[in-house]
Chains A and B, each alone.
Chain A
Amino acid sequence: MQFDPTCRYLPTHEWVRVLGDEAVIGISDYAQSELNDVVYVELPEVGDAVEKGEEFGSVESVKAASELYAPVSGEVIAVNQDLETLPELVNQSPFGQGWMIRMKLMALGELEELLDVEAYRALCEQG
């Protein structure tokens, strides 16, 4: 089970990786293993404004459909087009090629409220 130390996490299993004033967001390895084969990812449009805690899309597997919650607030500047034809990238590379959206950050302070990798790992191990 992979836990990326360069990310911060929501208890709902979304991760965010900050690069300057931009953030990349996806779901964790734990999340993808619980979901099983991802068949469809619904993402927002470039230009959409998203609030921390707000639902920004959903991910569907063969057996479940889960909402995706924004770990931070910002404006969507890119979405991963590859997921349209290759949703399995979420399973294969949840922290890499399975990234979902990139945002321009509104409030860097919001990151403090998120779980760091150790806190997130502990949460997952609790089950």
Chain B
Amino acid sequence: MSYVPLTETGRRDMLSTVGVSSVDELFTDVPRQYRYPHIELPPPLSEMEVLRELQRLSETNADLQHIVSFLGAGAYQHFLPSVVNHITARSEFCTAYTPYQAEISQGTLQAMFEYQSMICALTGMEVANASHYDGATALAEGVLMAYNVLRGQRHKAILSPAIHPEYRAVVRTYVQGLDIEIVADDALANDTRLPERIDDDTFCVAVQNPNFFGELQDMDALRALAEAAHARRALLIVVGYPIALALLQPPGAYGCDIAVGEAQPLGNALNYGGPYIGYFACRQQHVHKMAGRLVGQTVDVGGKRGFVLTLSAREQHIKRERATSNICTNQALCALACAVYMSSLGPAGLRRVAELCYHKAHYLARGIAQLRGYDMVTSRPFFNEFVIRCPMPVRDINATLLRHGIIGGLDLSQVGQDLGPDRWTDREMLLCATEVHTRRMLDQMIHALEQAS
């Protein structure tokens, strides 16, 4: 496609059609003193000087090549096989735009279809969409979908207090203006009492497994929760950590209706907080109420397999105010990274990653529990995150650790507001270990914690 620049004749014609004689006249609404402000910019630099300056700026940041981090809490450091960036950096994928014109978008559409299929395999659910912005908005969309499945005739959404506090805050943002009440995530509520809160005005119950504190939910309890929800025709939403799903029973196996979560751990780097990617999967029977892009497989007029965006009448550009949501995009490049990551590891490889995460976290926990002054707070089975109590404020421990090139775990008093001020003191730390932590790094951490106290 050739680039067609604006000509002087074209510009003059447009101006006269609009009824002005110069471009300046179009800005007369802006007060004169603000119309063409003088901005003090330094003189232009050469490419070499710019690169040097950016290099200098970036070196003022710490990075995970040089620092070991034990943070988790919703964003996880996993090893990215080189093939992931090799594929996502290809310009055909990197520059591809929205695949509304199927004929010229088969590559990106097929990649999204593969991603969707893999999410279904991982979660044990029947249909998955092409992704949402992140885990938090995926959960919010799940709540909206459940509300719509029950036709807006019910108004209570039960959210477990052990779901990531920021996810719950985002859900509250999303349901503003709707006749929806969020219940049961008061700080001291116990997960096991959730079935008792379900009544005939409940449209969904949401839990997270492993939960925000890394704890694994009991399978029988999850099945019972699903049954309790279904007995009242409410839907069960499960927020999951995709790496853990390679090791645990998938949500589809215990009665989940909508499975959501953060897919960043699958092939996406930490990226300083984003872009991330929310996965979303549900039962086929509810697919017409599911929001988000959906890629389907079909055949063309010649009988050859092809891919298209499908069930488009769900979306807001057709359904308008009756659509479940206004989302009409997805995180295509991040989803491609997930698909490449999952296919390069395969189910066995992904399971091995999960096993390493589990074992390394437990090794770290055991080592810390033996230190004087430190206690394990987590008493239930956990995946790769756990809570410890420190002999000194976490803030001080982390400052010491940082001087030794280690980023410590999350200071839980920082999220205390959402979880109830009585629950966490300033001594509780949420730690995470993944396959990237070598035994040496784990031993160094244990030693550093001992020294810091």
A interface residues, Cβ below 8 angstroms from B: 39-40, 42, 58, 60-65, 67
Contact = CB atoms under 8 A, between A and B. Distances in A.
Interface residues of B, number: 8
Interface in B282-309: 288
20 contacts: A39-B311, A39-B313, A40-B288, A40-B311, A40-B313, A42-B288, A58-B322, A60-B288, A60-B314, A61-B313, A62-B312, A62-B313, A63-B312, A63-B313, A64-B313, A64-B318, A65-B313, A65-B318, A65-B322, A67-B322
B35 interface: no
Contacts of A63: 312-313, 318
A77 to B, nearest CB: 19
A62 B313 CA distance: 6
Contacts of A62: 312-313
Nearest to B320: A65
Contacts, number: 23
A65 B314 CA distance: 8
B319 interface: yes
A99 B311 CA distance: 22
A40 B294 CA distance: 15
A97 to B, nearest CB: 21
Contacts of A61: 313
Contacts of A64: 313, 318
Contacts of A42: 288
Given A60-B313, A63-B313, 16 more contacts: A39-B311, A39-B313, A40-B288, A40-B313, A58-B322, A60-B288, A60-B314, A61-B313, A62-B312, A62-B313, A63-B312, A63-B318, A64-B318, A65-B318, A65-B319, A65-B322
B320 to A, nearest CB: 8
Report the 5 A-B pairs with minimum CB-CB distance, sorted nearest first: A60-B313, A65-B313, A65-B319, A40-B288, A65-B318
A40 B319 CA distance: 13
A60 B311 CA distance: 9
Nearest to B287: A40
A110 B325 CA distance: 36
